[in-house]
Amino acid sequence: MHTNESEVLTQTQRDRLAQADASDEPVWIVTKDEIGSDAIRPIGDGPLTWEFEIENARTFAWAASDAFMWDACRATITDENGMERDVRCQSFFPVEAKVWGNDHEDGGSTRYIKHSIEYYSEWLSPYPYPVMSNINGPEGGMEYPGIIFCGARTNPEGLFGVTDHEIGHIWFPMIVNSDERRFMWQDEGFNTFINIYSKAAWYGKRPDIKRHMEQTTEICSAIHQQPIVTAPDRAWPRWVGRLMYRKTGYGLYLLREFILGRERFDDAFAQYIEWWSFKHPQPSDFFRTIEDAAGTDLSWFWRGWFLEPTSLDLAVVKVAQEEGDTAIVVLDSLGDMVMPVPMQIIYTDGTAESRTLPVEIWHTSTRWNAGIQTGGRKIDSVTIDPDEMLPDTNRKNNRWER
């Protein structure tokens, strides 16, 4: 944060910043018409020294240009003590970056910053710095504590995506200081995971994991697949994004939505962030923390999703309809990845029911006979994973019909 604004900014700029610091909508600090004019410089022709200060930062960056427009507003978050605190959100960009400004109809950079800071602070942990700046520069996207750099973007959705992603890096790895050189997935994958929900919240839609699932299934179907824990410089170059970003993000999505449930996962994830803030967790630290906080053994999930190159192939072999109220649904796990089994059962009278069999059914065998109390009804069809949430490599064997 600037510590000498009175020395390097004009009175007009300081007044505008004060207005922005109390505003939920972006305020112009330097307008298009002021770029290059004497009006944006304090009185005097000598050099100016800008002074900055930041705490709990693993690195730092800064930017300067006489071509920057500048707008700002506040984000309001709740700190660790339950007190509200404002964060200055600000963007610096040239005139050519038209989608960045607060006058753009689809949002603009500073509104995106405000959304991401408030969203992640409420869900994960409070944003720890007093300012977040977004700089339009030559980088495609890069993060540092309190400042991010995003390259020129020609459409609002692209700008939102890169801005939200780089701000997400404040939590991983700036707050939770994971070793992204060796364990890139603890950095990029965790961030990809939280981005899924932030994007859905901004656009008012359901979380979209289609791309993540398709690329994960493709990896799991490959002859020479690699596990997520592969060091990034040893992974197939075209797989780095799929393994470290999308498969990891997708796996955490399944852990939250399908395996643990939102409340249980969120409690465990918050515990991980709290325990490891400004420390350096290894993968085993993450695994142990989630298991301790969730109170369950997830070794089967860590092994199948992160540690080994595995694939999932669940199948309905047959349905044996017994006399009376019982039917037997015969299931196989044909891959080396195991998962709980979500099923939809439809009866000949048109009624339907859903149930999920726990992952423990695969502890001793790759075949499971599931007893179904039918209430005298005849089963018309059984479908595994009817919502197509899982990365099943062969969906042709997921359905049985009478």
Distance between CA atoms of residues 399 and 315, nearest Å = 8
Angle of helix 109-123 relative to helix 156-168, nearest 10 degrees, comes to 40
Q: Are 7 and 97 in contact (CB under 8 A)?
A: no
Q: How far apart are CA 172 and CA 389, in angstroms?
A: 26
What pLDDT does residue 328 have?
95
Q: Are 268 and 294 in contact (CB under 8 A)?
A: yes
Cis peptide, bond prior to residue 173, ω within 30 of zero: yes
What the chain holds in terms of domains, given with CATH numbers, is: 5-175 (3.30.2010.30), 186-307 (1.10.390.10), 314-401 (2.60.40)
Q: For residues 28 and 350, what is the distance between their CA atoms, to the nearest angstrom?
A: 61
**289 with 279: CB under 8 angstroms?**
no
| C-alpha–C-alpha distance, residues 261 and 319, integer Å | 30
- 3-state secondary structure (DSSP) of residue 38: helix
Helix (H) or strand (E) holding 346: strand 341-347
Q: Are strands 69-78 and 84-93 parallel, antiparallel or unpaired?
A: antiparallel
Closest CA to 104 of 30, 140, 157: 157
159 within 8 A of 75, measured Cβ to Cβ: no
Position 183 scores a pLDDT of 96
The pLDDT of residue 139 is 83
Residue 42's identity, in one-letter code, is: P
Parallel/antiparallel/unpaired status of strands 27-30 and 84-93:
unpaired
pLDDT, residue 39, reads: 81
156-168 helix and 188-203 helix, angle to the nearest 10 degrees:
130
Distances (CA, A) of 48 to 31, 43, 62, 273: 21, 11, 15, 40
On whether the CB atoms of residues 306 and 185 are closer than 8 A, the answer is yes
Cα(39)–Cα(53) distance, integer angstroms? 26
pLDDT given at position 137: 83
Amino acid identity of residue 55, one-letter, is: E
For residue 135, what are the β-bridge partners? 92, 149
Query: What parts of the chain have a pLDDT lower than 70?
Result: 152
- What is the tens place of the pLDDT at every residue in 191-247? 999 999 999 999 999 999 999 999 999 999 998 899 999 999 999 888 899 999 999
CA neighbor of 8 nearest in space, from 27, 23, 29: 29
Distance CA(215)–CA(246), nearest Å, equals: 7
β partners of residue 7? none
Residue 315: its H or E element: strand 314-321
List the structure tokens of 272: 């991980």
Q: What is the pLDDT of residues 311-336, one digit of tens each?
A: 999 999 999 987 789 999 999 999 99
- Cα(21)–Cα(312) distance, integer angstroms: 51
- Tell if the pTM clears 0.75, that is, is over it: yes
